[in-house]
Amino acid sequence: MSSQRRSDGPPARVQLSRAAGWRMPAGARKVDRTTPWGNPFDYRGPGRDRAVAICEYTAWLDGEGPDELPAGHRVFSRSWVLEHLDELAGARLACWCPLDGPCHSNVLGARVYEHTHRASETVRKAAYGAISRRTTPRDSARRPVGHGKTRRSRANAQPGPPAG
């Protein structure tokens, strides 16, 4: 662990395992669907896969659809997730997905990193009394996950033409 260089980005994730003797590494946090951090969108089902479920999850975190989504035995809340990102700061996120494939924890981890990075930047600027009214280029940091099917219903969000 000590030889690991501190990389510029979220910490590497962890794959949960039921293998005998397997233990959660120190500093890891479980974010599967047994926790409020889970992905309410199921990857199983006809025409679905992890990439699809993660696209939906990303759009949901971005504000698409209802705040609360029931899935399995719990109700997942977007506002809860966004308000509790601090709890995952610096943690390696642990889920069942294979490490060489897509997982919602990558999206979540990126959010946590972005959030904590921005927070520390704010603190730093405040310390120097130099907070300016810059807008944060939030959308530029977004990348579509998987193949190009991600641009759903964004076109509908544009304001209509002026009446008359």
Residues making contact with Zn ion (CB under 5 A): 95, 97, 103
CB of 85 to Zn ion, least distance (A): 17
Burial 76-97 (b: 16+ CB within 10 A, else e): bbbeebeeebeebbebbbbbeb
Cβ distance to Zn ion smaller for residue 91 or 103:
103
Instruction: Note whether 85 and 115 are within 8 A (CB).
Output: yes
Closest to Zn ion by CB, 10 vs 155, is 10
Closest contact distance (angstroms) between CB of 66 and Zn ion is 22
Closer CB to Zn ion, 105 or 150, in the complex: 105
Q: Nearest distance from residue 24's CB to Zn ion, in Å?
A: 15
Minimum CB separation of residue 21 from Zn ion in Å reads: 22
For β-strands 74-77 and 68-71, DSSP reports them as antiparallel
Helix axes 50-61, 104-127, angle to 10 degrees: 30
Asked if 43 and 50 count as a contact pair (C-beta separation under 8 A), the reply is: yes
Nearer to Zn ion (CB atom), residue 14 or residue 95: 95
> Which uninterrupted H or E stretch holds 76?
strand 74-77
By CB atoms closer than 10 A (0-12, 13-18, 19+), residue 20 is: exposed
Least separation in angstroms between CB 96 and Zn ion: 6
Closest to Zn ion by CB, 39 or 139 = 39
